[in-house]
Homo-oligomer: A and B are copies of this chain.
Amino acid sequence: MEKRVDIRHIGNLIRIARKMAGLSQMELAEKLGISYQQVQKYEKGLSEISLSRLSQIAHALNTPINRFISDDEKMMVSESMSLYGILSDDEIELLRFFRKIKNKKLKAEFLMVMKNISELSEKGLSKKAKS
Q: Which of A93-131 contact B (CB under 8 A)?
A: 93-103, 105-108, 110-111, 114-115, 117-119, 121-122, 126-127, 129-130
Nearest CB of chain B from residue A94's CB, rounded to whole Å? 6
Please give, as numbers and ranges, the residues of chain B lying within 8 Å of A63 by CB-CB distance. 76, 81-82, 84
The residues of B that contact A33 with a CB separation of less than 8 Å are 1
The A1-52 residues at the B interface (CB cut-off 8 A) are 1-5, 7, 10, 13, 16-17, 20-21, 31-33, 48-52
> Given A98-B94, A118-B100, does the pair A4, B55 have CB atoms closer than 8 Å?
yes
A118 to chain B, nearest CB (A): 4
Give the interface residue-count category, chain A: 35 or more
Chain B residue numbers with a CB within 8 Å of A121 are: 100-103, 106
Complex alpha-carbon distance, A121 and B99, angstroms: 10
Residue in chain B with minimal CB distance to A96? B80
Partner of A111, one of B16, B94, B101, B102: B94
Across the two chains, which residue of chain B brings its CB closest to A63?
B82
Task: Tell whether, in the assembled complex, residue B56 and residue A54 are in contact, meaning their CB atoms are under 8 Å apart.
Answer: no
Q: A33-B1, A81-B99, A126-B103 are in contact. Are A93 and B115 (CB under 8 A)?
A: yes
A/B interface sample: 5 pairs, CB < 8 A: A1-B32, A55-B72, A62-B82, A64-B76, A98-B118
